[in-house]
Structure 1
Amino acid sequence: MRSPKDDYRFALRVSERGEVVGIGDGIAWIRGLPSVQLDELIGFADGSTGLVFQLGRDLLGAILLTEKHGITAGMAVTHVGRKLAIAAGDALLGRVVDPLANPLDGLPPHTAREVRNLEAPAPPLIERDFVSEPLYTGCKIVDALIPIGKGQRQLIIGDDGLGKSSLALDAVINQAGRKLICVMVLIGQPRSAVAATVDALRNAGALDYTVVVVAEANALPGFRYLAPFAGCALAEHWMRCGRDVLVVYDDLTRHAQSYRELSLLLRRPPGREAYPGDIFYLHSRLLERSTVLRPKFGGGSMTALPIIETRQGELAAYIPTNLISITDGQIYFDAKLFAAGTLPAIDIGRSVSRIGGKAQHPAIKTAAARIRLDYLQFLDLELFARFGTRLDAAVEDKLRRGRLLRALLKQDRLAPLPEQAHHAWLLAYGEGLLDAYPPQAAAALLPKLCAAVAAAGLTLDDAKEHWLATLATSLARQT
């Protein structure tokens, strides 16, 4: 048997070697390595690693990923010969990791063996299928009026502190028992907010099918930049395995700010609001990877819920307009609704789902057909009625029904509802079963109606008559 020593040949070997010129703010400037490529890993003499992010005529800029003993000027740098990749697989479910899949939850190292590149091309058109299955968030307004389908990219947008993250958290919690994997990417958030999110997932039993990717506010800008791509790579692995995945990016405003910080540190020419010229490509190449695959190519899906922050409700700002043009619709949170106590503070008039209606169940779609229009008309009439004008009976009836609908649409956070509950209140409202009750009393009856529907074992495919009989019987018992 031949040994490796028998194949050894004494010869001259040539390899590239660079050296560190400067270091600071998580960025290393390197001279040499003329054949290095963008997004290639490089190794430092002390065992640290970096990611090539900027190619210049004389120097190249690299993001520091790991730092062992302290990088100094003059230190040798060599090729690693591969792209940045992350471990993926079911072993990561229930874990809290950083963008390199290193554990952050104090548990033993995971045993995931599959590897996915952080940067990967979006699936070509021939591999994609139509959005045809609903993804239920548990929110009354979203599932009834702004439906989301598996494989859709639905933007959650609004000012800070209006409940955007709570809606995404409800959507994750509502996937219990649905054989759907969730990936939550927390970008630039303080440690207290990260801990609160993880505790909420754990208390709801949602952490078992969720992996949380964290790049905290005090992390290097390079880590915050890589976080959504790491979460996307994890979700893409399960999608390619034929499974359905929901990935939440919370939020892409901080991600864009991290990319701007990196670009300015690397002396790239600034553009509008000091963002680099490729800021649109940054998010488009991330979100375009979310889709539904044809059965021939695995049949999985990746649904994206990117979150973006506005200032004073300004939708025409640079980053919000970019994300609105990339995604398949938006859920807009309004500060005035939040101040008025209408929670969740979703503005139905400004929110839209461009393709989710094709995936909505026919029963819910039929029951909610006119509710959106009725609610928008009610808002206009209510504004007109404030002038104290005399109203006829038909307008008074619309105002009364509108106030009832507004009370029914209110919902507490961390309390998602199944789709049967949505169908129950939609039918009860649409058929006038709740007209005899004051708005608050009708809203208080909803849990009992949902319990009656669950006890009867009704499904969305059952006949409408069976639903109405069950709801009428339940209401009769309450009175």
Structure 2
Amino acid sequence: AGEMVEFASGVKGIAFNLENENVGIVVFGSDTAIKEGDLVKRTGSIVDVPAGKAMLGRVVDGLGVPIDGRGALSDHERRRVEVKAPGIIERKSVHEPMQTGLKAVDSLVPIGRGQRELIIGDRQTGKTAIAIDTILNQKQLNSRATSESETLYCVYVAIGQKRSTVAQLVQILSEANALEYSILVAATASDPAPLQFLAPYSGCAMGEYFRDNGMHALIIYDDLSKQAVAYRQMSLLLRRPPGREAFPGDVFYLHSRLLERAAKRSDQTGAGSLTALPVIETQAGDVSAYIPTNVIPITDGQICSETELFYRGI
């Protein structure tokens, strides 16, 4: 399971379900070109994505293919999308601050490099604004950095958002010259569910390049509720038994294995870090729903945005 396959039409997929009589494959692309009797080839490789400094300033899809119309990626390495999180020995206690540039966050809930801080709240309460402001504020902080080990690179993963929203975001970042230290991974609402499911892992692999090479990175998943919905869609289509709110039983593992990869490395392994800011959207402020109660225990703390406070301009 997890191997890439290729259809006769050139569309790629990933073997998701392995059963005695059949194999369940999820498709990364248009399924209209696939017909009964088509030949499906094994590629012999697990899903991997490009990573490295060549990715900075680029907008890519869930498989790391550039979608910004600026040609192919130059010098880069490839990294597995699904890797194990660093073990206990390879980690170190979080001790350096990760400034967001937002007074309310930095004074009340300071975030360390290598931590995971959940941004949770209803729709239209400024969750994405917190995340984007954090990226923009790194411009000033990075300009003061004296060495590579002080610079913070940013990865923004947009899951299930409108294309116009992503385009707007690219414009905001490029106008502020913030794209030079950022990577954008976009699996928009018009992309198939498997790509929306895969995008956070792809973004994480790109962030891990910095973490494993003694640098610091920040990754924002906006938002993981949509990834869970895409995963539910795939699981139900593959006839996996549904659980609470029709989500499959391993939806906790879906998020835990992703967020555990954000870590602070020990001095022996380069002292790099990956900080995660996952976003979860609640319905009518219900933080006790299934996905919020799954992600809250995985993260180190929460930033809750409330409609009431948002309308009061706080």
**1:232 and 2:204 aligned:** yes
1:312 aligns to what SS in structure 2? Answer: coil
Residue pair 2:115, 2:262 contacting (<8 A) in 1 also: yes
Residue pair 1:46, 1:68 contacting (<8 A) in 2 also: no
Alpha-carbon distance in structure 1 between the residues aligned to 2:10 and 2:105: 49
**1:76 and 2:39 aligned:** yes
**1:56 and 2:19 aligned:** yes
Counting only pairs closer than 5 Å after superposition, residues 320-339 of structure 1 correspond to structure 2 as 320-339=292-311
Counting only pairs closer than 5 Å after superposition, residues 19-418 of structure 1 correspond to structure 2 as 38-66=1-29, 70-176=33-139, 177=142, 178=145, 179-342=151-314
TM-superposed CA distance for 1:301, in Å, is 0.1
1:162 aligns to what SS in structure 2? Answer: coil
Residue pair 1:93, 1:207 contacting (<8 A) in 2 also: yes
TM-superposed CA distance for 1:87, in Å, is 0.8
Residue pair 1:46, 1:69 contacting (<8 A) in 2 also: no
1:116 aligned partner, one-letter code? R
Instruction: Give the TM-score normalised by the residue count of structure 1.
Output: 0.62
Alpha-carbon distance in structure 1 between the residues aligned to 2:126 and 2:50: 32
Q: CA RMSD in A?
A: 1.3
TM-superposed CA distance for 1:69, in Å, is 8.7
2:276 aligned partner, one-letter code? A
Residue pair 1:153, 1:303 contacting (<8 A) in 2 also: yes
Residue pair 2:94, 2:114 contacting (<8 A) in 1 also: yes
Residue pair 1:47, 1:68 contacting (<8 A) in 2 also: no
1:231 aligns to what SS in structure 2? Answer: helix
Residue pair 1:47, 1:67 contacting (<8 A) in 2 also: no
TM-superposed CA distance for 1:339, in Å, is 2.1
Alpha-carbon distance in structure 2 between the residues aligned to 1:238 and 1:65: 27
Residue pair 1:215, 1:223 contacting (<8 A) in 2 also: yes
Residue pair 1:41, 1:51 contacting (<8 A) in 2 also: yes
Residue pair 1:157, 1:308 contacting (<8 A) in 2 also: yes
Alpha-carbon distance in structure 2 between the residues aligned to 1:93 and 1:69: 34
Residue pair 2:203, 2:219 contacting (<8 A) in 1 also: yes
Alpha-carbon distance in structure 2 between the residues aligned to 1:85 and 1:341: 43
Q: Deviations over 1:342-395 (max 9, x none)?
A: 2xxxxxxxxxxxxxxxxxxxxxxxxxxxxxxxxxxxxxxxxxxxxxxxxxxxxx
Alpha-carbon distance in structure 2 between the residues aligned to 1:66 and 1:221: 10
TM-superposed CA distance for 1:113, in Å, is 2.8
2:223 aligned partner, one-letter code? D
More helix by share: 1
Higher relative contact order (CA 8 A, sep 6+): 2
2:138 aligns to what SS in structure 1? Answer: coil
TM-superposed CA distance for 1:56, in Å, is 2.0
Q: Deviations over 1:414-463 (max 9, x none)?
A: xxxxxxxxxxxxxxxxxxxxxxxxxxxxxxxxxxxxxxxxxxxxxxxxxx
Alpha-carbon distance in structure 1 between the residues aligned to 2:270 and 2:26: 34
2:110 aligned partner, one-letter code? P
Alpha-carbon distance in structure 1 between the residues aligned to 2:12 and 2:291: 31
Residue pair 1:87, 1:112 contacting (<8 A) in 2 also: no
TM-superposed CA distance for 1:200, in Å, is 1.1
2:263 aligns to what SS in structure 1? Answer: coil
Alpha-carbon distance in structure 2 between the residues aligned to 1:160 and 1:66: 28
Residue number in structure 2 paired with 1:362: none
2:165 aligned partner, one-letter code? A
Alpha-carbon distance in structure 1 between the residues aligned to 2:189 and 2:11: 22
Residue pair 1:88, 1:112 contacting (<8 A) in 2 also: no
Sequence identity, in percent? 48
TM-superposed CA distance for 1:135, in Å, is 0.4
TM-superposed CA distance for 1:112, in Å, is 3.6
Instruction: Give the TM-score normalised by the residue count of structure 2.
Output: 0.95
Q: 1:305 to 1:163 in 2, by over 3 A?
A: same
Alpha-carbon distance in structure 1 between the residues aligned to 2:32 and 2:171: 34
Alpha-carbon distance in structure 2 between the residues aligned to 1:123 and 1:195: 34
Alpha-carbon distance in structure 2 between the residues aligned to 1:48 and 1:338: 44
Residue pair 2:29, 2:192 contacting (<8 A) in 1 also: no
Residue pair 1:159, 1:310 contacting (<8 A) in 2 also: yes
TM-superposed CA distance for 1:68, in Å, is 9.7
